[in-house]
């Protein structure tokens, strides 16, 4: 990297737009889907990378016709301006030439003589662009941006050759993240498939084909009702249970003043809110220490001679488990699921040794998935730091002689 001579000067986004193609939104009322209609781009179509062409909404030519101003060309940018994903941005690929957009999306037609579209995309995705989104975003039921405010976004503008180089560097990191995300998705599907095969006897580790006898959960677990007491664990040990994160520290403002009635949750025991287990809020305590949970929670543990906790932890993450919890096992929707309700669940249960062998395989697959997730987080943080250095001019990318000459001429011309 070259040392920075100075930070880049910035200009409003409106100054980088093609003449006659100002920043605009698109179709207000798209109507019904039309099989052979004009493709309509919505925020969901690019929020996690461009989706397959078959997944796009299509509208009639008659609905599309009054919105010629918002038609897309290859190299345009689309920016979500309404909803939870406000600020999401993407470059329009060549295969979407001629498509249109909705009123929740802004089309930004960058003039390639003034800026590189891929570079502007990186700026809008960076802390610089997202801070502008946050600053101008309007509140209400649905957060959003006005087009006039989008035009005011300040974009740092190095010489065009350097913009190309910066975009190429950052694109390399994007490709690495895309590959890691695809690998993560594949490993996730592998874990789902292994759970389905191993936990229900379709695939046996010992080659046996004997069916497993259904076993009531209540026969291999027991409820725990021990309270914290007046001189028990402190407030730092109070935990909540979430679907995404499992057993996590509870926010101080949600903890009662008196925690003596809070229930004790030993290591490798399970806890859940009886009113939220239907959305997946049940977890095993993977910590080494005993913790506390709300007195309203149900707490139970596996019998050491009947059920391996890791086996149950994987089983509860299957669609089979979710179906039982949501139907109550009888087709009716259960509003609250207490221990006695859960205890009636009949498990596909092999012998304890086979349970542990199955859990070991699944734990390995889960750990592999988590390792890829951590790698994604690390690369994301690295790219974020690199963006901050490159887009502000603190670090300068090396240019070959021809690019350096062109950049010098551009700078002198601008001066």
pLDDT tens-place string over residues 132-163: 999 999 877 678 999 999 999 999 999 999 99
CATH architecture of 213-349: Alpha-Beta Complex (3.90)
Beta pairing class for 100-101 and 38-41: parallel
Q: What is the residue whose two structure tokens read 């509870």?
A: 250
What residues does 291 pair with on adjacent strands? 265
Question: What pLDDT score was predicted for residue 226?
Answer: 97
The correct answer on CATH 3.30.565.10 for the domain covering 158-211+351-415 is: no
- CA distances 176 to 40, 246, 315, Å, are 29, 29, 33
Angstrom distance (rounded) from CA 92 to CA 53: 13
Question: Range with the lowest mean pLDDT among 66-75, 264-273, 330-339?
Answer: 330-339
pLDDT for 411? 47
**7-28 pLDDT, tens digit each:** 889 999 999 999 999 999 999 9
Statement: residue 112 has pLDDT above 90? yes
Tokens for 90, please give them. 């993407």
Q: How far is CA 16 from CA 19, 88, 264, in A?
A: 9, 19, 61
Q: Are strands 291-293 and 298-302 parallel, antiparallel or unpaired?
A: unpaired
**160-198 and 117-125 helices cross at what angle (nearest 10)?**
60
Asked if 76 and 1 touch (Cβ cutoff 8 Å), the reply is no
- The answer on pLDDT for 332 being more than 50 is no
For the entire predicted model, the pTM comes to 0.82
Q: How far is CA 314 from CA 164, 311, 320, in A?
A: 47, 5, 11
CA 370 – CA 391 distance, rounded (Å): 31
Rounded alpha-carbon distances, angstroms, from residue 276 to 20, 229, 342: 54, 26, 13
Mean pLDDT of 30-46: 93
The angle formed by the CA atoms of residues 209, 188 and 280, to the nearest 5 degrees, is: 90
* Pick from 71-75, 200-204, 290-294, 308-312: least confident: 200-204
Q: Residue 52's pLDDT band (boundaries 50, 70, 90)?
A: confident
CATH superfamily of 12-155: DNA methylase specificity domains (3.90.220.20)
Residue 348 in contact with residue 201, Cβ under 8 Å?
A: yes
Q: Convert the pLDDT of each residue in 62-92 to its tens digit.
A: 999 999 999 999 999 999 999 889 999 999 9
Q: Does the pLDDT at position 210 exceed 80?
A: no
Indicate the domain borders of the chain: 12-155, 158-211+351-415, 213-349
CB neighbours of residue 68 within 10 Å: 8
Rounded average pLDDT over 291-301: 96
Q: What is the DSSP string of 329-367?
A: TTTSPPS---HHHHHTPEEE---HHHHHHHHHHHHHHHH
Q: Is residue 213 predicted with pLDDT exceeding 50?
A: yes
- Residues 73 and 94: their CA atoms lie apart, in Å, by 7
Non-local CB neighbours of 338 within 8 Å, separated by 6+ positions = 274, 298
Q: How far apart are CA 145 and CA 250, in angstroms?
A: 34
Check the CA dihedral 383-385-388-394 and report its sign: negative
234-251 pLDDT, tens digit per residue, is 999 999 999 889 999 999
CA gap 104, 338 in Å, rounded:
44
What is the widest separation between alpha-carbon atoms in the chain? 82
- Dist. CA 59–CA 150, nearest whole Å: 27
What is the Cα–Cα distance from 129 to 141, expressed in whole angstroms?
23
| Cβ contact 228:292 at 8 Å | yes
208 falls in which pLDDT band (50, 70, 90)? low
Dist CA 26 CA 375 (whole Å): 38
| Fold match, 12-155 / 213-349 | yes
Instruction: Kindly report the average pLDDT of the chain as a whole number.
Output: 90
Q: Which ranges of 247-351 does DSSP label H, i.e. alpha helix?
A: 309-315, 319-327, 339-343
Is the CB of residue 376 less than 8 Å from the CB of residue 181? Answer: yes
């Amino acid at each position: 990297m070259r040392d920075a001579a100075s930070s880049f000067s910035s200009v409003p986004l409106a100054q980088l737009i093609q003449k006659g193609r100002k920043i605009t939104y698109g179709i207000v009322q798209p109507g019904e889907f039309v099989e052979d209609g004009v493709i309509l781009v919505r925020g969901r179509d690019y929020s996690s990378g461009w989706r397959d062409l078959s997944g796009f909404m299509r509208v009639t030519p008659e609905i599309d016709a009054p919105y010629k101003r918002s038609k897309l060309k290859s190299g345009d940018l689309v920016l979500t301006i309404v909803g939870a994903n406000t600020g999401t941005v993407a470059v329009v690929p060549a295969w979407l030439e001629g498509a249109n957009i909705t009123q929740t999306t802004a089309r930004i037609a960058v003039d390639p003589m003034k800026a590189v579209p891929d570079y502007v995309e990186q700026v809008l995705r960076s802390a610089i662009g997202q801070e502008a989104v946050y600053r101008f975003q309007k509140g209400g039921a649905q957060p959003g941006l006005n087009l006039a405010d989008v035009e005011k976004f300040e974009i740092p503008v190095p010489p065009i050759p350097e913009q190309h180089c910066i975009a190429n560097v950052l694109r390399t990191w994007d490709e690495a993240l895309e590959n890691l995300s695809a690998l993560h998705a594949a490993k996730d599907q592998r874990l789902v498939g292994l759970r389905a095969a191993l936990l229900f006897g379709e695939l046996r580790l010992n080659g046996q084909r004997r069916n497993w006898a259904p076993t009531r959960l209540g026969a291999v677990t027991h409820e725990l009702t021990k309270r914290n007491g007046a001189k028990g664990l402190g407030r730092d040990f109070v935990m909540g249970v979430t679907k995404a994160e499992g057993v996590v520290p509870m926010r101080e403002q949600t903890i009662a003043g008196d925690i003596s009635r809070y229930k004790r949750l030993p290591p490798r025991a399970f806890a859940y809110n009886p009113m939220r287990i239907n959305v997946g809020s049940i977890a095993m305590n993977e910590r080494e220490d005993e913790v506390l949970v709300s007195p309203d929670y149900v707490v139970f543990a596996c019998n050491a001679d009947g059920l391996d906790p890791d086996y149950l932890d994987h089983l509860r993450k299957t669609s089979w488990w979710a179906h039982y919890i949501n139907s109550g096992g009888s087709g009716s929707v259960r509003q609250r699921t207490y221990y006695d309700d859960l205890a009636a669940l009949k498990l596909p249960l092999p012998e304890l040794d086979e349970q542990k062998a199955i859990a070991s395989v699944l734990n390995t697959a889960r750990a592999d998935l988590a390792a890829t997730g951590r790698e994604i987080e690390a690369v994301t943080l690295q790219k974020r730091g690199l963006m901050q250095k490159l887009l502000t001019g603190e670090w300068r990318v090396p240019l070959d002689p021809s690019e350096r000459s062109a950049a010098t001429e551009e700078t002198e011309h601008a001066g």
